[in-house]
Amino acid sequence: MITLSKKEKEIIQNSIRDVHDFPKPGIVFKDITTLLNDAEAFGVTMNHLYQRYKDMGLDFIAGIDARGFIFGASLAQMLGIGFVPVRKKGKLPYTTISQKYSLEYGFDEIEIHIDAFREKKDAKVLLIDDLIATGGTANAAAELIEKAGAKCVEACFIIGLEFLEGIDKLKEKTDVYYLIGVN
């Protein structure tokens, strides 16, 4: 499989801004908006993802609300395949299937359209988002893909927070790839 060169990794890493104490004290938020508005860094990111996935025989890319939409829709267009939005409950206009997952204090729920994979049996799906931390949303999205009759062949993230359990937890369901690791 294709991996980033040292120079490509530096370009991407240097384009990501750390925002201290957001959304609460003690958190260092990884802001990818600075990657998105850096044409070189975004180009390196998308070209790398294209090279990695172009020969994988994917049928769809599922992107997690909302930053996963940016990377997922762009990559789907580059690969000539369909894009499936994984949204928070109540945001999709047609009949949906849903998956609940736990948060620190309570539960949340994500959905996809019931016909998201166009009734293609065992569709090969890449799940994508900007970052994996505790993995709750990503695990729920992988389960939702399976519930819809498709196969989540890999989950891809721009940033993987290696010091949290999310990556290892998700690896129990599917292969996991991330461009930049933070430990």
- Between β-strands 82-88 and 60-64, what pairing exists: parallel, antiparallel or unpaired? parallel
Q: Which of 141, 101, 109, 108 is nearest to 125 (CA)?
A: 141
Q: What is the pLDDT confidence band of residue 78, given thresholds at 50, 70 and 90?
A: very high
pLDDT band at 6 (very low <50, low <70, confident <90, very high): very high
Which residue in the list 8, 10, 67, 143 is annotated as catalytic? 67
Task: State the pairing for strand pair 175-182/151-161.
Answer: parallel
What is 6-182's CATH number?
3.40.50.2020
Whether 67 is catalytic: yes
What DSSP element (H or E) covers 136?
A: helix 136-147
Q: Taking the complete model, does pTM exceed 0.85, yes or no?
A: yes
On average, the pLDDT of the chain sits at: 96
Residue carrying structure tokens 């395949």: 81
pLDDT digits (tens, 9 = 90+) for 46-63: 999 999 999 999 999 999
- 80 has pLDDT over 80: yes
Q: Name the percent of the chain lying above pLDDT 90.
A: 93
104 is known as an active-site residue: yes
Q: Where are the beta strands (DSSP E) in the chain?
A: 17-20, 28-31, 60-64, 82-88, 96-103, 106-113, 124-132, 151-161, 175-182
